[in-house]
Amino acid sequence: MRDPWWKTAVAYQIYPRSFADADGDGLGDIAGIIGKLDHLADLGIGFIWLSPVYRSPMADNGYDISDYREIAPEFGTTADFDRLLAEAKARGIGIVMDLVVNHSSDEHSWFQSAREGRDSPFRDYYIWRDPGPDGGPPNELQSFFGGPAWSFDARSGQYYFHLFDRKQPDLNWENPALRAAIWEMMNWWFDKGIAGFRMDVIDLIGKDPDNGITAEGPKLFDHLAEMQREVLAGRDVVTVGEAWSASPDTAPRYCGDGAALSMVFQFSHVTAGWDPEFGKWKDHKSDLVALKRGFNDWQRALAGEGWNSLFWSNHDLPRAVSKYGDDGIWRVRSARALAIVLHLMKGTPYIYQGEEIGMTNTRFARREDFNDVEVHGQWPEMQARGLSADDFLAGANANGRDNARTPMQWDARAHAGFSTGTPWLAVNPNYPRVNAAADRADPDGVFAQYRQLVALRKSHPIIVHGSFVPLAEDHPAIWAYRRELEGQRLTMVANLSGDPVRFAVPGQGAVSGQCLVTNTEARTDLTGEVALAPWEAVAVLGTP
Ligand code: NOJ
């Protein structure tokens, strides 16, 4: 059987609000994306995951959709979208849309009708319950953005359910009419020529809120099987499900043979970098052994069946080089090391906008300066649990979502060349130094490293298909693994610390041959003990 195209492709995520603003209103837009397609074509990517561009009141920056088939006017028109699709296709790039169907916006016509009253034909598109015995919410379930997951609707005297903001009511997947409407919408987008869907919090759609079950609920895999039958079967598309609760045990049910998804985004490596008590809201030093385990367990679990997605960052996470690298003196080298480590594992890599030029976290001086609904919703929650204001601010600066949402830094002009107007979120002040124009002009820059890695994946089947064996899993500073395919061996060794390290390459990884990639000096030999410079990463290709 022919390999699916998305195994060899590298993906690039665009957060449209922050990517490129063509009309000067301070918000990125589709015309802006079109203007930057050559940057992406140069990088060599195969598809774009486009965060939501649908009509939306933007309570959660587009993850609250009020019309699944219309484009948000602030981002452009349907004609602009169609042009994006065509221009991307002309460069061999597919467009993967964001499917946000755990919930809609409360301004979607379905919800507007549903809240008219109990006999609305759309009432059952959402989850309504009578108040609890004390007149309060039906149960204790909490929203991910803080506060109860139930909001009271005075008109009907019932509560509706929302796992996110109160402006994001959860859709009722128990209702076959709702599911049919979603299948129809998905088919409509596919018929337009999109390359796939990234599915927002897809592990939540099978929930059973009456029994307190939200993630991986009893109906989840039935719904996904129905999606496979009604929409995906026979289509040559890519589907990636965001699934925070997926585990190596459940992974094959999402993306094994015949399952609806090509792969999932799982987050064990992300949560490994969180505080055990306060999660992302308290800064926590990332531990390399735990971080590696997050990847290695999944590499092992999906060795035979299923497929991995590989990512450091997205629009909900901190900047990779700030979280896992060193965004000070080693910014460029450590960003390159992280790229090498990620891209030579088995799976489809996703580059988050700005990662390819080594963009860093920003710093917000005060809590009020954050834009993100999650920061404001979670503060009262964390305060009640005993976190101090200073610790919360440090946590939000380390892990908050706005870090990834500051505008893309294109060049050293005002507002980093992102917009001629005032950007909706302040540009990171380091833009005169950290920007695409400067980085791309540097043959030893971050972009050059990413471009090389994307190209190597196309020319070296061992990167796509080779078996994966982790090495030195307990080493606190070294990340190392071996890949093998048809008599070839590729060994990657990286020092993920700012100190020099001497490392004895274990026998099962020993290789000498050709230096495939390096962020420092070329090496052709990884046998015996090697002395690695700070943040050095190297991969050698040879025979076992
Ligand atoms: C996950 C998305 O990535 C995030 O940005 C959003 O807030 C929630 N799902 C709700 O849609």
The answer, yes or no, to whether residue 1 has pLDDT greater than 60, is no
- Residue 234: which region, alpha, beta or left (left: phi > 0; alpha: psi -120 to 50)? left
pLDDT of res. 122: 98
| pTM score over 0.95 | yes
- 242: which strand partners? 265
Q: Which of 80, 200, 283, 316 is catalytic?
A: 200
For residue 248, the CA-to-ligand 1 centroid distance in Å is: 22
Q: How confident is the model at residue 286 (pLDDT cuts 50, 70, 90)?
A: confident
* CB 395 within 8 Å of CB 281: yes
* CB 185 within 8 Å of CB 192: no
Q: Is 484 a catalytic residue?
A: no
Higher pLDDT among residues 544 and 464, named by residue: 464
Q: Is 242 a catalytic residue?
A: yes
* CB 475 within 8 Å of CB 290: no
Residues 235-253 pLDDT 10s: 999 999 999 999 999 999 9
Q: How confident is the model at residue 256 (pLDDT cuts 50, 70, 90)?
A: very high
Ligand 1 atom nearest 145 alpha carbon = 7
Give the DSSP per-residue string, 208-273: BGGGTB-TT-TTHHHHHHHHIIIIITT---EEEEE-TT--TTTHHHHHSTT-S-SEEE--HHHHTT
pLDDT of res. 308: 98
Residues 37-57 pLDDT 10s: 999 999 999 999 999 999 999
**Residues of the chain with pLDDT > 90: what percent?**
99
The preferred substitution site among 17, 61, 63, 373 for testing ligand 1, maximizing ligand atoms within 8 Å of CB, is 63
For residue 61, the CA-to-ligand 1 centroid distance in Å is: 9
Ligand 1 atom nearest 314 alpha carbon = 3
Identify the three-state secondary structure at position 393: helix
Question: 222, exposed or middle or buried, with CB in 10 Å at 0-12, 13-18, 19+?
Answer: exposed
The β-bridge relationship of strands 54-55 and 11-14 is: unpaired
Using N-to-C axis directions, what is the helix angle for 373-384 and 389-399, rounded to 10°? Answer: 140
- 349: which strand partners? 310
Residues 359-409 pLDDT 10s: 999 999 999 999 999 999 999 999 999 999 999 999 999 999 999 999 999
N- to C-terminal Cα distance for the chain?
Answer: 28
- The residue nearest atom 6 of ligand 1, judged by CA position, is 63
Torsion angle, alpha carbons of 311, 61, 42, 419, to 10: -140
Mean pLDDT of all residues in the chain? Answer: 97
Ligand 1 binding residues, C-beta < 6 A: 60, 63, 100, 164, 200-201, 242, 315-316
Residues 182-223 pLDDT 10s: 999 999 999 999 999 999 999 999 999 999 999 999 999 999
Question: 3, exposed or middle or buried, with CB in 10 Å at 0-12, 13-18, 19+?
Answer: exposed
pLDDT of res. 2: 62
- The residue nearest atom 2 of ligand 1, judged by CA position, is 200
Give the Å distances, CA to CA, from 307 to 128, 216, 281, 498: 37, 19, 31, 32
* CA gap 445, 357 in Å, rounded: 8
The preferred substitution site among 100, 207, 264, 267 for testing ligand 1, maximizing ligand atoms within 8 Å of CB, is 100
For residue 63, the CA-to-ligand 1 centroid distance in Å is: 6
Give the Å distances, CA to CA, from 136 to 211, 216, 366: 17, 27, 34
Ligand 1 atom nearest 163 alpha carbon = 10
Residues 493-523 pLDDT 10s: 999 999 999 999 999 999 999 999 999 999 9
For residue 200, the CA-to-ligand 1 centroid distance in Å is: 6
* CA gap 428, 430 in Å, rounded: 5
For residue 119, the CA-to-ligand 1 centroid distance in Å is: 31
The preferred substitution site among 54, 64, 201, 280 for testing ligand 1, maximizing ligand atoms within 8 Å of CB, is 201
Using N-to-C axis directions, what is the helix angle for 446-459 and 331-343, rounded to 10°? Answer: 10
pLDDT of res. 352: 98
The structure tokens listed for 214 are 């939200």
- The residue nearest atom 5 of ligand 1, judged by CA position, is 316
